[in-house]
Structure 1
Amino acid sequence: ALAKTSGKDIVQFANAVKISSPDIDGKVCSKGYMEGSRNSGNGSVDGYIEKPTDNTKTGQCSGLKGSPTAANVGLTKFVSGARVGESKNWPTGMIINSGGSAAEEGKTNGNAEAVARDLVALNSDEKTIVAGLLA
């Protein structure tokens, strides 16, 4: 369902989440289970950007290295860095290619999948807050 949601709506949702619960914002798009780089895995990926040019940034939610810098992660950091509100990187994100020199599309609908997966992983109180924001 998230894949059919517009990037602008995702940005509005992200901003509402950050205002309501910065802790929840920090738990979404803060992990490394999605492929953020085809060149070196996610080992150097530490933040978000619209169109990656090297292994340090990605357009893929939760396509980060194992211990990313806290200031670089979260749903609002993802939507602003990847320019989701400008119809970029939603629902599919851009990642660095295997040569490490150019951006290419990652997994189809990968960003929608990652946001949904991170929301499902929240505890029940956090899910209640998110549900209220979606209503």
Structure 2
Amino acid sequence: MQWGNLDYLLVNLPPGIGDVQLALAQALPIYGVVMIATAQQETHSDTYETLKMFEQLKVPIFGLVENMSNKMAPDMSQQKYEIQDGENLTPKIRVPYLGCIPLDSTVPQYRDRGLPMVLAEPSSIFVSTLNTIAWEIASQTTISGLKS
């Protein structure tokens, strides 16, 4: 498939380590990874394994976004997010916390109508959060690209 000239190519992969993640990391110049996680402790083991894999492959980790958060506003105070391998006593991985995407009951309503929330409610907290996170990722991508 030919993509043409792109500024960014974002690939959404399932959590965990697998052939797809490994093949992409070895075949493409990856400027960085953004991990998406949820606040549930059960998801931390997969997130931990994925982070460890990208660390071993020397792929920069731009940070972590908490999806489906019960928080209503992003906290962009440059704090670190800690991920640990489930119940094991392995060392934690600390990554930059890019923000949280809050649960918003109106998202499915717009999706069902085929209208992106970013166009329907551009001044909502939900969209503001997405924009803030997107700009942070874009700035990290630009910095990473300049280093290579």
The answer to which structure has the higher strand fraction is: 2
TM-score by length of 2: 0.22
TM-score by length of 1: 0.24
Structure number, greater radius of gyration: 2
